[in-house]
Amino acid sequence: MALQEGLARARGWLAKPRPMLIGGEWVMAASGETFETLDPATEESIVAVAKGGPEDVDRAVAAARRAFEPGSPWRRMTPRSRSRILRRLADLLQENRDELAALESLDNGKPYTKILSGDIDFSTNILYYMAGLADKIEGSVIPISATEVPWPAELGAQGPADYLVYTLREPVGVVGSIIPWNFPLLMAVFKSAPVLTTGCTMVLKPAEQTPLTALRFGELILEAGVPEGVVNVVPGFGDAGAALANHLDVDKIAFTGSTEVGRLILKAAAGNLKRLTLELGGKSPNVIFADADIDAAIAGAAHSIFFNHGECCTAGSRLYVERPAYERVVAGLVEKARRLKLGSGLDAATDMGPMISQEQMDRILGFISSGISEGANIAVGGKRFGDRGYFVEPTVITDVREEMTCQREEIFGPVLTVVPFDTAEEAIAAANGSRYGLAAAVWTRDISKAHKTARALRAGTVWINSYHADDASIPRGGYKESGWGRELGLEGIVDYLQTKAVIAQL
């Protein structure tokens, strides 16, 4: 019943073309252009969306700058009032959860039930957590050795002066947030929550494949009491993202996406030395020792790669198994892959939905083909599923060598490579032999081995005997080419603040 009610509300909202949010107003693109967003399960059009371009980005940045100016309603708002807004926004997510889940399932393809228990509940927890930080952003008082501070006699000094020195933690300014298509609503919350917590303002650019929940979230932001111009939502393509990254009146870019696009954003930020938070690609290793609870490890390894259709930056896409357990683990993974039901996210029986687009499906199948051509074998899956929608079978690849393309490159789909190892040193060296370092996991009953391996793995997040356990209090981010900075946790607001030192002679 909840699904049907949510779907009815979503379809009502989709009955007309969707505009963008600029300065508190819902407007169409300056060019008048729109684009179609597609249901990846059916390849059919859902709705036309305003196609933002550089002129719209200019308008949105100007609105965000006005909202950030001293004396604006947002800048005069107390930290506790910002906290109340964040809590109200969290409540609104829950009040509209069925509609949001239906929109997300239509636009992204992921299962409705998993959106409810995963994306929406986690988003709510992030907002509640950040609400608790809004009135706890503090500076410090710094004692200095006043008698040793030089003070020119010509300025009237009569002797050593006393000083009061303190720091202020101030919002960095206008933030450009560019989010991906794999967790559209959750990523919008990831970027919005620290902005609202710290008192910054924002222009949010959702992925062109999945703009719908970001636009609906924009409505909830206004309903929660966020002043006009504080959050602006501009859907569009690469030219809109490039305009935002290059904009000289944007103080910071927060980006989640591929390492390749991250490099482009890094170059664009050089114009005015923008701050950057980048969560980029991953090729995360998952290490199973023979002394692990093998059944639990098999279940965890399957979850690590087939969760969210494998379209997850932290997906455990490289599995290393100690040789005595290798055959059993592969057999267990094959069995689990075969039992997964593929279909529309609006079908309650669906375990795994479609890939986001034809382009992404073709890319994934291309990586599988390259593995076969380089000598790997397909233990299960490896093909497109059906002839309608962008479905790829859950796939397990064996007989893999480290130099193979499927082992080196981020596939971003339900494709797992499995490699045996003989020693812990061999497994750690292989696991670390990647340009990425976003996440990793280790499975063993030996507590010493578990923690030694976790310390040796070069990744921003390491799970022990679990995978994808998460919370709003845990900072996340990457090593190496997997990104800069951290999101969530106490560290998640640091890059949205700047420190001012104030020195007063008494």
Question: In angstroms, how far apart are the furthest CA atoms of the chain?
Answer: 87
In this prediction, residue 65 carries a pLDDT of: 98
CATH superfamily of 2-140+169-280+483-500: Aldehyde Dehydrogenase; Chain A, domain 1 (3.40.605.10)
Query: Where does CATH 3.40.309.10 sit in the chain?
Result: 285-471
DSSP H stretches of helix in 386-483: 405-408, 424-432, 447-456
Q: How confident is the model at residue 506 (pLDDT cuts 50, 70, 90)?
A: confident
- C-alpha–C-alpha distance, residues 266 and 253, integer Å: 9
Q: Tokens at residue 501, please?
A: 């030192």
What would the pLDDT profile of 256-308 be if each residue is shown by its tens digit? 999 999 999 999 999 999 999 999 999 999 999 999 999 999 999 999 999 99
**With contact defined as beta carbons under 8 Å apart, do 80 and 134 qualify?**
yes
Q: Are 260 and 298 in contact (CB under 8 A)?
A: no
**Hey, which residues are catalytic here?**
279, 313
Report the top-level CATH class of 285-471: alpha beta
pLDDT in tens, 146-204: 666 566 666 655 555 688 999 999 999 999 999 999 999 999 999 999 999 999 999 99
Other C-beta atoms lying within 10 Å of the C-beta of residue 153: 7
Q: What is the pLDDT of residues 77-110, one digit of tens each?
A: 999 999 999 999 999 999 999 999 999 999 999 9
What is the structure's pLDDT at 123? Answer: 98
Please state, in angstroms and rounded to a whole number, the distance separating the CA atoms of residues 28 and 20: 6
Segments of the chain assigned to CATH 3.40.605.10: 2-140+169-280+483-500
SS3 209: coil
* 427-484 per-position pLDDT tens digit: 999 999 999 999 999 999 999 999 999 999 999 999 999 999 999 999 999 999 999 9
Whole-number pLDDT of residue 505: 84
Residue 205 has pLDDT above 70, yes or no: yes
